Amino acid sequence: MRAMSERRRLVEQEGRRHAVRRGMRGRLHFENMPRLHKLLEFLVRVTLTKDRGVRNVLDVRSEEVEIVSGELPAGFDNTRILLVTDLHIDGVDGLAEKIVSVAGAVDYDFCILGGDYSFGAGSKGSLAYSRMKDVAAELRAKSKVFAVLGNHDRYSTGELLEECGVRVLVNESVCLEKGGDKMYLTGLDDCHYYGADDIELADDGIEDGAFKILVCHSPEAYRQAAEAGYSLYLTGHTHGGQICLPGGIVVVGGATVPRRLLKGRWRHDGMCGYTSRGAGASGVAVRYFCPPEMTVITLRKG
């Protein structure tokens, strides 16, 4: 894991309430609305729907997604990647065990953890810290695991994951080899809250013309990724809306991106992308009309 950047260090030392300010539109992010959190918590209690919302959080399902690319090296055809993001593992009791159970029931070649491991900002000794240690150990026992940090993660969480054998990518890349072919997996530091992402630094040393997959907690770096020649962008952060209208209609997305990037499969300038709904819940530990997911992404040469 690369050393902590000066940008992240300064933000971690601020000690202020987690918030994002990016112009008038940026202030509409869910994490900037503590009063809305309290209002939602009140509403789900008085309407007697909180228990249902919590059960929905625990209804984690595996989502099968196929990504077809003519640029994919033949050796990686049919490679299966398990993407698990936005766990917020201390938000609901039983969620850690559910995630391990779902992961154990599917086949995949390697796992990617997409950030936001705690409900608040977990640090050493916290419930999130201990639960992530158990989850990481279970996942690492089955396959290689790579990870990035999210807007709810301190650098110390990355150090914990590394202790468990997880390869944490902080503005850096790793070369994967299979069947004599190569592809690169790049992980960016959080671009949403910390603003510590550095795609040029992460790209350093990658061969020209290589097939590259970018993992970033938020989809907000999609333009830079496409310009840098990435073929696939894997992300989360938005929770797919988490509390949606019937039909899964997103009310609050939590990222300054076009609505088409808030969940599911998308494209931008020839780059494929996938935004996971996430495996947990944040702000208020409930979900409605937006089930949590752990995504099994199958790469196919097309």
Write out the H or E segment, with its range, that includes residue 174.
strand 172-178
The conformation of residue 186, written as its DSSP 8-state character, comes to E
C-alpha angle with apex 32: 26 to 36, nearest 5 degrees? 125
Task: State the Cα–Cα distance between residues 20 and 29, nearest whole angstrom.
Answer: 7
The tokens for 240 are: 């797919």
Write out the H or E segment, with its range, that includes residue 184.
strand 181-187
Task: State the Cα–Cα distance between residues 206 and 277, nearest whole angstrom.
Answer: 30
- Which pLDDT score is estimated for 32? 60
Q: Does domain 33-301 fall into CATH 3.60.21.10?
A: yes
In the chain, % helix, strand, coil (3-state, to 5) comes to: 30, 25, 45
Task: State the Cα–Cα distance between residues 120 and 27, nearest whole angstrom.
Answer: 19
Task: State the Cα–Cα distance between residues 62 and 295, nearest whole angstrom.
Answer: 6
Q: How far is CA 182 from the centre of its chain?
A: 24
Total count of residues recorded for the chain? 302
Q: Residue 95: which residues within 8 A CB-CB, separation 6 or more?
A: 57, 58, 60, 87, 88, 89, 279, 280
**Tens of pLDDT, residue by residue, the chain (302 residues):** 999 999 999 888 876 555 555 444 555 556 666 666 666 666 666 676 888 999 999 999 999 999 999 999 999 999 999 999 999 999 999 999 999 999 999 999 999 999 999 876 555 668 888 999 999 999 999 999 999 999 999 999 999 999 999 999 999 999 999 989 999 999 999 999 899 999 999 999 999 999 999 999 999 999 999 999 999 999 999 999 999 999 999 988 888 899 999 999 999 999 999 999 999 998 888 999 999 999 999 999 98
Strands 264-268 and 271-275 come out as antiparallel
Q: Where are the domains of the chain?
A: 33-301
- Which pLDDT score is estimated for 15? 64
Closest among 294, 240, 234, 263 to 62, alpha carbons compared: 294
The tokens for 263 are: 């969940």
What separation in angstroms does the CA of 147 have from each of 18, 83, 84, 130? 22, 10, 9, 17
